[in-house]
Structure 1
Amino acid sequence: MTTAFADASLTPVRDLLSLTGRTAVITGAAQGLGKAIASRLAEAGADVLLADIDGERAREAAAEIASRFPARSLGIDMDVTASESVRKAASFVAAELGGIDIWVNNAGVFPSIPVLETQDEEWEQVFAVNTRGVFNGSREAARHMNGSGVIINIISTAGFEGTAPGLASYVGSKHAVRGMTKQMAMEFAPLGIRVLGVAPTFVPTEGTMAAAAMHTGDAGPTSESRTNAVMTGSLMGRLGTPDDVARVVLFCASDLSTIMTGSTLLADAGKTI
């Protein structure tokens, strides 16, 4: 039987892990998880496109990565909620870097608003970024993947459970993406495309620390230590780091995980046990 998902049993580990010759797009990549993911994929040899609503910061992050690794690294403006913006970005990277092999849907928002205070437009914005953005990115990625590829959705432990009060729209959006990961895996397998999810627990980044401080009502000089204390639920005795999550994404993007599709990997330090 001919299949795009080749048996890699005899492939050396260094080759399984290598992304040399492949191109990766990472959304929401100007900082935090997205930037860490782009760095690890570039270190593994992939050419990377860092896409973000803040194009200037994406270009700065791309220049930093390019100074550290020989792979090509570019930054671009992209609004994941706008299908035309995603289409243009996908066409750009396909033309500029020769195709798309890996697409990481990382962009997300997580405002904390109690259900009874949530306005329609606030709910819609969360789903526009966190859910429609994943759909837009996955659809365009699949259109440009020529017979093989992998799409990786950054979900959250919120895709498995309820979480802090005020996050109904966020939790709903992440449950939706977990379901989309399964459905897209079914639809894209005949195209040679794998679809995987990675679900981190709380990881301190510029964005999550600001959101957590807002949620706890703590914006003072000790907000980081207090927020860390509130959010620490790890069986491993520490919070995760962006690179902890990036290494799991690298596993998903590489041929080490070639037998996997439709799964969501928990990168949660045991939080959801």
Structure 2
Amino acid sequence: MSFPFADVSERSLIDLLSLAGRRAVVTGAAQGLGKAIAARLAEAGANLLLVDLNEEGARAAAAELGERHGVRALSTRADVTETSSVAAAADHAVAELGGIDIWVNNAGIFPNAPVTTMPDEMWDTTFAVNARGVFLGSREAARRMSPDGPGAVIVNVISTAGVQVAFPGMAAYVGSKHAALGMTKSLAVDLAPLGIRVLGVAPSFVPTEGNIAAAKAGAEAAAAAGVEMPPLDVMSSSRIGRLGTPDDIARVVLFAASDLSMVMTGSTLLADAGETV
């Protein structure tokens, strides 16, 4: 069986980092981590499709990044929990960009509630977005990736919740992120013969718009149930003196998506400021 992964040892550092001519899809890209990831991929030269439920936000982000970095940047609305919606987004990337070389499963939700009061719907929705969404995105991307291209990569944005439990009320989120981390390993085994690498990036808590809103909502729900939750400023046991920023995570995703990481597949990179040490 042939595994089409090139030895890139003789290529320059600049060439290894470049994504010029590659086609990248980023889910959950209207704001926060997704937008930061798309920005670094665009800066490295990739043409982009930004995918989000927030169609207007994705369109604005695409226009901004395309103008700033001189790449082709498009957007589309998609629900990562629906097969037809994800397939349509993948088809759009192929039709408009000419193919898919990089797919970043970034879309995710961060609900938290005490397990005794957590409704079924919260559990189901969390797994639908954070686990099913990774599966659907990876499958539809892999079906359209070519082993003859410049290098096919799927990057799953997971979380340190895939390896630990930071505080109470995270049963659904932790379960879904453990699933995504395990899926990253299994997908790497399945897709290696097709010339597709699969990597995970696991950030600790990053204060994006969505994360802050979700954390506050969870704290309010916990307080109502008589459960104490930690304040936002101690949600990360950082060893570098600060919380991570969206761009801190985006740079790690860029490494994973580029040929700098050619020898890697199935791994999950902890972008956690030392939180899990």
Residue 212 in 1 paired to residue 215 in 2? yes
- Identity of paired residues, percent? 63
Residue 4 in 1 paired to residue 10 in 2? no
Counterpart residue number, 1:230: 234
Residue 45 in 1 paired to residue 38 in 2? no
Counterpart residue number, 1:185: 188
For residues 219 and 25 of structure 2, the distance between their equivalents in structure 1, rounded to whole angstroms, comes to 34
Residue 15 in 1 paired to residue 10 in 2? no
Shift of 1:156: 0.2
For residues 84 and 115 of structure 2, the distance between their equivalents in structure 1, rounded to whole angstroms, comes to 31
Counterpart residue number, 1:149: 152
For residues 209 and 119 of structure 1, the distance between their equivalents in structure 2, rounded to whole angstroms, comes to 21
CA deviation profile, 1:170-208 (whole Å, cap 9, x unmatched): 000000010000000000000000000000000110001
Contact 2:48 2:74 in 1 (8 A): yes
Shift of 1:166: 1.1
Counterpart residue number, 2:226: none
Shift of 1:215: 3.0
After superposition, the Cα gap between the structure-2 partners of 1:228 and 1:116, relative to the gap in structure 1 and judged at 3 Å, is closer
Counterpart residue number, 1:258: 262
Counterpart residue number, 1:56: 56
For residues 67 and 86 of structure 1, the distance between their equivalents in structure 2, rounded to whole angstroms, comes to 26
Instruction: Give the TM-score taking structure 1 as reference length.
Output: 0.95
Q: CA RMSD for the aligned pairs?
A: 1.4
For residues 234 and 131 of structure 2, the distance between their equivalents in structure 1, rounded to whole angstroms, comes to 27
Shift of 1:217: 3.7
For residues 81 and 3 of structure 1, the distance between their equivalents in structure 2, rounded to whole angstroms, comes to 31
Partner secondary structure for residue 88 of structure 1: helix
Counterpart residue number, 1:166: 169
> How many pairs does the alignment contain?
266
The partner residue of 2:198 within 176, 195, 199 is 195
Shift of 1:242: 0.2
Shift of 1:228: 4.1
CA deviation profile, 1:55-81 (whole Å, cap 9, x unmatched): 111001111111201111111101000
For residues 271 and 14 of structure 2, the distance between their equivalents in structure 1, rounded to whole angstroms, comes to 23
Shift of 1:227: 4.3
CA deviation profile, 1:72-118 (whole Å, cap 9, x unmatched): 11111010000000001100110100000000000001111111111
Contact 1:37 1:243 in 2 (8 A): yes
Counterpart residue number, 1:249: 253
Report 1:93-132 matches (<5 A). 93-132=93-132
Contact 2:32 2:246 in 1 (8 A): yes
Contact 1:134 1:153 in 2 (8 A): yes
Shift of 1:216: 3.4
For residues 269 and 230 of structure 1, the distance between their equivalents in structure 2, rounded to whole angstroms, comes to 13
CA deviation profile, 1:29-51 (whole Å, cap 9, x unmatched): 00000000000000000001110
For residues 245 and 275 of structure 2, the distance between their equivalents in structure 1, rounded to whole angstroms, comes to 15
Contact 1:209 1:227 in 2 (8 A): no
Instruction: Give the TM-score taking structure 2 as reference length.
Output: 0.93
Matched residue type, 1:254? S
Contact 1:202 1:240 in 2 (8 A): yes
For residues 246 and 231 of structure 2, the distance between their equivalents in structure 1, rounded to whole angstroms, comes to 17
Matched residue type, 2:135? F
